[in-house]
């Protein structure tokens, strides 16, 4: 997900580009796709409008929709999967396999967690889009994202505006205090930075009037004038479009402000 920068600005239009983890086939993945799926699950949580409808005094029948709150809790709540990954990343003797043992021990009974029977280096999650298996090999190293401070300082001192701006953002995201030589503070991990960034995005969306534009691939071969119904249907299903259409049809699809309606 692109970095999210929130500042005090006058009324404006902002575009957030979020690359979806749902591209069709579900296969064995690692850390980065897990974070993308977390983003997708959080976006799906934005779909229901029942609270707004009730607040405006509109009489309507409740619409059943797929609630993914428990899956989100499995991933990001206290003692959830991200917490265990971050904890193991900070242990000098922590390995990918000690992490896997902790994940199995802690979440084996969770209905959204999958413990494969025939492999010793995978775990799975039953996402909104379906079941996905993740490979733990290399997951701690990717999450630690070690970057030598002396190299970062050199890049931040670059006289090239592009290089300076690029790595100034890296520094501010890690926190200036964590970049000082000799500091005892821990640098945030990749997953913790992503989680904080995602929470900021969701807070911004909640306080805004968002319009979601979903881009659908007609095929996986990147060819013109070629339409693959199965690929398109999978994307519509995994992106929550079918659920959204169901909710809009059962509710009030046209929503105009009182001012616009009166005029």
Statement to judge: residues 238 and 167 lie in one domain: no
The range of the structural domain enclosing residue 122 comes to: 31-145+192-262
Q: How confident is the model at residue 1 (pLDDT cuts 50, 70, 90)?
A: very low
DSSP state of 29: B
Per-residue pLDDT, averaged over 164-168, amounts to 76
The answer to whether residue 7 sits within a structural domain is: no
Statement to judge: residues 94 and 155 lie in one domain: no
pLDDT at 184: 45
Last residue of a domain, one of 154, 173, 188: 188
Statement to judge: residues 154 and 125 lie in one domain: no
- Integer Cα distance of 205 and 9 in angstroms: 15
The answer to whether residue 68 sits within a structural domain is: yes
- Integer Cα distance of 7 and 19 in angstroms: 23
Statement to judge: residues 113 and 47 lie in one domain: yes
Element (H, E) at 83: helix 81-89
3-state class of 243 per DSSP?
A: helix
Does pTM top 0.75 for this prediction? no
Do 232 and 15 meet the contact criterion of CB atoms below 8 Å apart? Answer: no
List the structure tokens of 125: 């999650």
pLDDT tens figures, 73-93: 898 888 899 999 999 988 888
Where do we find the tokens 């990147």?
Answer: 222
Statement to judge: residues 181 and 52 lie in one domain: no
- Structural domain count of the chain: 2
- Integer Cα distance of 120 and 123 in angstroms: 9
Q: Which ranges in 2-55 belong to alpha helices (H)?
A: 31-44, 50-55
Statement to judge: residues 119 and 176 lie in one domain: no
pLDDT tens figures, 132-150: 889 999 999 888 876 677 8
Statement to judge: residues 183 and 132 lie in one domain: no
Do 85 and 139 meet the contact criterion of CB atoms below 8 Å apart? Answer: yes
Statement to judge: residues 160 and 49 lie in one domain: no
Statement to judge: residues 52 and 137 lie in one domain: yes
Statement to judge: residues 138 and 152 lie in one domain: no
List the structure tokens of 241: 């479009």
């Amino acid at each position: 997900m692109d970095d999210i920068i929130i500042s005090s600005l006058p009324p404006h239009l902002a575009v957030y580009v979020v690359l979806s983890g749902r591209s069709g086939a579900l296969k064995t993945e690692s850390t980065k796709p897990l974070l993308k799926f977390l983003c997708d699950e959080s976006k799906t949580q934005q779909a229901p409008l029942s609270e707004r409808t009730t607040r405006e005094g509109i009489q309507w029948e409740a619409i059943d929709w797929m609630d993914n709150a428990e899956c989100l809790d499995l991933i990001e709540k206290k003692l959830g999967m991200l917490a265990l990954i971050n904890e193991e990343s900070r242990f000098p003797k922590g390995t990918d396999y000690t992490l896997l043992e902790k994940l199995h021990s802690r979440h084996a009974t969770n209905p959204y967690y999958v413990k494969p029977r025939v492999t010793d280096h995978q775990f799975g999650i039953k996402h909104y889009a379906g079941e996905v298996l993740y490979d733990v090999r290399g997951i701690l190293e990717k999450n630690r994202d070690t970057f030598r401070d002396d190299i970062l300082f050199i890049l931040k001192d670059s006289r090239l505006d592009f290089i300076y701006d690029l790595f100034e953002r890296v520094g501010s995201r890690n926190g200036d205090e964590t970049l000082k030589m000799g500091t005892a503070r821990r640098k945030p991990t990749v997953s913790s930075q992503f989680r904080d960034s995602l929470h900021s995005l969701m807070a911004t969306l909640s306080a805004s009037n968002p319009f979601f534009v979903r881009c659908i691939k007609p095929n996986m071969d990147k060819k013109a004038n070629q339409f693959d119904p199965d690929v398109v249907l999978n994307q519509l299903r995994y992106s929550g479009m079918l659920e959204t259409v169901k909710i809009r049809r059962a509710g009030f699809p046209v929503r105009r402000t009182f001012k616009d309606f009166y005029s």
